[in-house]
Amino acid sequence: MRLKNYVLYNSKKYASQWLVLAIDLFIVATSFILAYLIRFDLTLGFNPEPFLKQLPVVIVIAALSFLIVKSHKGVIRHTGFRDIIRVFMAVVLFFGFTVSFVLLNREMAFMEGFTIPISIIMIHSLLSFVALSSSRVLFKMSYKYMTCKTKYAKNIMIYGAGDAGIITLNALLSNHNQKVNIIGFIDDNEAKKGKSINGFTIYGRECLNEKFVERYQISEIIVSIQNLPTQKFRGIVNDLIELSVDVKAIPPFENWINGKLNADQIKQVQIEDLLDRDPIDINNPVIGRELEGEVVLVTGAAGSIGSELSRQIAGYKCKRLIMVDQAESALYDLQQELLQQKRDNIIPIVADIRDKARVDHIFNEYKPTMVFHAAAYKHVPLMESNPYEAIKINVGGTKIVADASSYYKVKKFVFVSTDKAVNPTNVMGATKRTAEMYISCLQNESETKYIITRFGNVLGSNGSVIPLFRKQIEKGGPLTVTHEKVTRYFMTIPEASQLVLEAGAMGKGGEIFIFDMGESVKIFDLALNMIRLSGLQYPTDIDIKITGLRPGEKLYEELLANGENTLPTYHNKIKISKARPVNYARVKPVIEEICISNFFQNNSIVMKLKELIPEYVSNNSVFEKYDRKQEKITDNRKKVLTSNFFEKVEN
């Protein structure tokens, strides 16, 4: 049985190689006949007796050349440029052996009367190279044609007929795992229109319409242009997704594997690529110097921002990274991820930041020198119905960690806030604004430098709208949007985390860092684009359902509160909010009272928050009734209330 399997294995492995060698020798023999015909003006006016003596010698020399170069071992249906080079080397070697044999025979006469005219050898070598190369290319094209015409093949267009487009074409043709049928190229350059590349026609952009797509049954278009400006890329993709085709793009050149594009690297265009903003590029060596040798503590380390902060901080030369979170499973996953990256300076700690004794123990044992506080409850509707929990985590938890940072003389404390803290309309935003105010109080009396960062929605974070839409698309819809006009700011998780690190590096204490997040995005348009990027049509395939604003939700978000201005930093997209000064003597006791209160009545909690934050006006919430009570207060009373908590800004 083993002998049989061995024979079968070797027959499959080597049979094709010997078949290729036999076909190559047949081509060489045929070419030798053609060489004689060409030499004698396509007539049989030559003596066949010397020819018959020469042919076996030519075949033997050719076989020896092919075996030395191993040109017969290439997989013919996957013939590439290197295979053609190998054939060329075999023909050159064959030419050299043949000429040498003929010249030596003239001198030594070991085959009496044997010779081959040099002109015949040259013509034969040239014909052999052309025939051998052509046979391989012809077989490859025939194989591709037969496989690509099956029902499983995808019809693909390549957008861009430049160098990147040609590289993409070659990557697709050399991909053995997927059957594709390339229709041609699309290019904006009128000079290229109507021409062809490797037999594939170049079409103008105006040709690309629904009739064209339907005519050629195009299912996929790949954008293959390097260094394409962001706005132009978005414009191209927005036009393409109107055609109900899959839109893909090649990665930047620096992400290619060993400088070569692999077909597997061509990915579906994501909704993140279409957001109307350019990413903030931060490459500041100061961050590395700031973290080097420090003991860094990250709260909420298993969350979206906290985990990315941990990944980035672990990449610097910090002495130790303390990762604190109460989510055991998520923290374990992060630990294993970092350990696989050989990050051995990490210490994961399962703890609740509301536990003052536990937090004090962590600070006392590990002596952190920098703290990044990302732990928080962030879901607006949930916190609207659970104000007590929002207070305990977002305010009480922040207070405990911030106080410990001050007591143990931490160098810098960086607080991750949100744009919902600006003119809050919900409990979550109000608690984050309260935490900001308390941190500002500590800055006034502590050696620790307290820094605040504000940003909008984070793409791909737990519970964010884009993962929700993806799940709804997988289920066949509908996509749920709270309001047709609702807008939000967006940025990526790595980008947001990098900003927090940047704030920690540039902050001197007391600043609120905000940054240019581009134009706000209309959520309805976001849902529409996600449907189209999935190759589906609205509303025939998937509908969008308007559900109404959720409790506490705004139509739009703000990055600056009323009366706030900005100051520039050394980065043109990062600003410092010039916030209204807080009357620390009045604000801090009220916040401390809120944190130690054990009342579970939501109304009492919200009234305390509204008392503390005059600009907190509920929206689409059961707590709006307390705003109506405030409306009865006279203008003078409003001024007095405001002055109790905010000092006037001096010019």
Residue 308 buriedness (CB in 10 A; 0-12 / 13-18 / 19+) = buried
Taking a C-beta distance cutoff of 8 angstroms, is the pair 248, 234 a contact? no
In the block, residue with structure tokens 């018959």: 52
Q: Is 420 in the active site?
A: yes
Order of all β-strands in the sheet with 220-223: 196-197, 200-204, 180-187, 154-159, 220-223, 246-249, 267-268
121 CB neighbour count, 10 Å cutoff? 20
Which residue among the candidates 248, 378, 420, 449 is catalytic per the annotation?
Answer: 420
Q: Residue 509 in contact with residue 445, Cβ under 8 Å?
A: no
Contact in structure between 165 and 224 (CB atoms under 8 Å): yes
Angle at which helices 584-596 and 427-443 cross, to 10°: 130
Q: The tokens of 429 are what?
A: 């935003």
Which sign does the torsion angle of CA 265, 271, 272, 275 carry?
positive
How many other C-beta atoms are found inside a 10 Å radius of the C-beta of residue 453? 26
Take residue 254 and report the two structure tokens written for it. 């620096």
Alpha carbon of 337 to those of 96, 321, 460, 612: distances in Å? 59, 14, 18, 42
Tell me the chain's radius of gyration from C-alpha atoms. 36
182 membership: H or E segment, kind and range = strand 180-187
Instruction: Name the burial class of residue 113, with classes exposed (0-12), middle (13-18) and buried (19+) by CB atoms within 10 angstroms of its CB.
Output: exposed
CB atoms within 10 A of CB 10: 10
Q: Are 195 and 164 in contact (CB under 8 A)?
A: no
Active-site residue list: 420
